[in-house]
Amino acid sequence: MKKLLFSYLLICIAGNVQGQKFDQLAKTPPMGWNSWNKFGCNVSDSLIMSMADAMVSSGMKEAGFEYIVIDDCWQVARDENGEIVADKVCFPNGIKYLADYIHSKGLKFGIYSCAGSLTCEKRPGALGHEYQDARTYARWGVDYLKEDWCNTTTQDAKSSYTNMRDALFAAKRPIVLSICEWGSNKPWEWASPIGHLWRTTGDINDSWNSMIGIFEKQKDLARYAGPGHWNDPDMLEVGNGKMTLEEYKTHFTLWCMLAAPLMSGNDLRNMSNDYRMILTNKEVIALDQDTLGRQATCYRDNGDYQIWVKQLAGNEKAVCLLNKSDEKKTVQVDFNLLSQIRGMGRFGGQQLKLEDYRVRDLWEHKDLTMKESTVYMELIPHSVKVFRFIKK
Ligand code: GAL
């Protein structure tokens, strides 16, 4: 009996070694740049290398952005051994060369594949080649894999992504696994032991309605996020030109409140100073990167006007006021009351004593001088105000 139990334990342990994700990765939401939102299928090594250069020269790297990810369309075929083949015209030096270049800039390198037989752009997918591809990625020096969900016919999502997780683990190079099945199978319920982030919705586009619609869908997902396992409301559109500056500020702030992965998706090489200021606002990024890893919860929802709260490490807290409407709103804000809201909604969080904290406006970059704890504030259409309660 004892012997049996012992062998069972051994099997369990061995099973575990195989079935594991790399645990020490993405302790805070991954930050980087991805080619898809701006460039779609027009990817090449010169584009990606210049983006790595711009990541450094623009101050994005300094602000915390580190992954440079090539999305769909880098791959064209499989060779006679089943090895994935990169487009030789667009990537004449091969992918490892690109990875080395990105690493030489002190950045990390990400790549895209798909759990189905073909990617969304009909390039070869990973199905049936997971272990082979994982070994190839490890050899190339890949640090991040985005795994899509097109052309999966009757595949089971959990098993498919588990298979890729195990393949990556067997290849022995720590690689962040970004699950991109658009929330179709409620990945928040099962993906935490499998991937480091999972998309919760379909694709974002560069419009207020798309962005705010996706944001609304995150409301009930806060409890599923935490260090090493994040809800992913999709990549950023900041700087792609079709929203107003105010809307981009809102987009960026809300993503940081959600502890969302921050994958910029604009052309970093020629961004305006305004866009750069948004993407590199370190005080707002600090909310996203807070080590407690809590996603904000909605404290008050008056339809067009909402208050969101994010519990932070060290008993600090962020509060975001959101005006979704097309009208200017004047709201009465009671900081005493806000300090007492629990930052994790019905899952707890600390009540603070206002007198122990200073309240900082993270876009104005200054502390509020509060003569009284209740003030009137104006929120222009589609805007936010975000405050951090900082211990005195
Ligand atoms: C979609 C995915 C996008 C992008 C695109 C590439 O399924 O959600 O983010 O990767 O495929 O074809």
- Pairing relation of β-strands 374-379 and 329-334? antiparallel
**Pocket of ligand 1, beta carbon within 6 A:** 36, 71-72, 119-121, 148, 150, 180, 203
Do 235 and 303 fall into the same domain?
no
Per-residue model confidence (pLDDT) at position 345? 67
Name the domain count of the chain: 2
What is the 383 CA–ligand 1 centroid distance (Å)? 28
Q: In angstroms, rounded to a whole number, what is the distance separating the alpha carbons of residues 17 and 214?
A: 36
Question: CA distances (Å), 330 to each of 318, 334, 369, 378, in order?
Answer: 20, 13, 19, 4
The burial of 341, by beta-carbon neighbours within 10 Å (0-12 exposed, 13-18 middle, 19 or more buried), is given as buried
Q: Let me know if residue 124 belongs to a domain.
A: yes
Q: Give, for ligand 1, the residue of 35, 112, 180 to mutate: max count of ligand atoms closer than 8 Å to Cβ.
A: 180
Looking at ligand 1, which atom is closest to the CA of residue 235? 9
pTM as predicted: 0.95
Q: What residue numbers bound the domain in which 237 lies?
A: 23-288
Atom index in ligand 1 nearest the CA of residue 112 equals: 10
Name, in order, each residue with C-beta under 8 angstroms of 377's C-beta and a sequence gap of 6 or more.
Answer: 321, 330, 331, 333, 385
Supply the pLDDT for residue 343. Answer: 72
* The predicted structure's pLDDT at residue 15: 44
Query: Is residue 215 located within the same domain as residue 302?
Result: no
Which of 288, 308, 327 corresponds to the end of one domain?
288
pLDDT value, residue 346: 66
Q: Kindly state whether residues 320 and 223 are assigned to the same domain.
A: no
Q: Do 139 and 200 share a domain, yes or no?
A: yes
Tell me whether residue 69 is in a domain.
yes
Task: Let me know whether 282 and 312 are in one domain.
Answer: no
In this prediction, residue 14 carries a pLDDT of 44
Residue with CA nearest ligand 1 atom 3: 203
Give the domain-ending residue among 288, 311, 343: 288
Domain containing 92 — which CATH number? 3.20.20.70
Q: Whose CA is nearest to atom 11 of ligand 1?
A: 120
Distance 284 CA to ligand 1 centre (A): 27
Clarify whether residues 51 and 106 are in a common domain: yes
Residue 197 CA to ligand 1 center (angstroms) comes to 15
As a whole number of Å, the end-to-end CA separation of the chain is 61
Query: 256, 288, 320 — which closes off a domain?
Result: 288
Output the residue whose Cα is nearest ligand 1's atom 8.
Answer: 203
- Expressed in angstroms and rounded, the spacing between residue 148 Cα and the centre of ligand 1 is 7
Residues taking part in catalysis:
148, 203
Is the domain of 186 the same as that of 328?
no
Residue 324 has a pLDDT of 98
In a domain? residue 135: yes
CATH of the domain at 350: 2.60.40.1180
| Rounded distance from Cα 364 to ligand 1 centre (Å) | 35
Ordered per-residue pLDDT tens for the chain, 392 residues = 455 454 444 444 444 445 799 999 999 999 999 999 999 999 999 999 999 999 999 999 999 999 999 999 999 999 999 999 999 999 999 999 999 999 999 999 999 999 999 999 999 999 999 999 999 999 999 999 999 999 999 999 999 999 999 999 999 999 999 999 999 999 999 999 999 999 999 999 999 999 999 999 999 999 999 999 999 999 999 999 999 999 999 999 999 999 999 999 999 999 999 999 999 999 999 999 999 999 999 999 999 999 999 999 999 999 999 999 999 999 999 999 999 988 776 667 778 999 999 999 999 999 999 888 899 999 999 999 999 999 99
For residues 301 and 341, is the Cβ–Cβ distance under 8 A? no
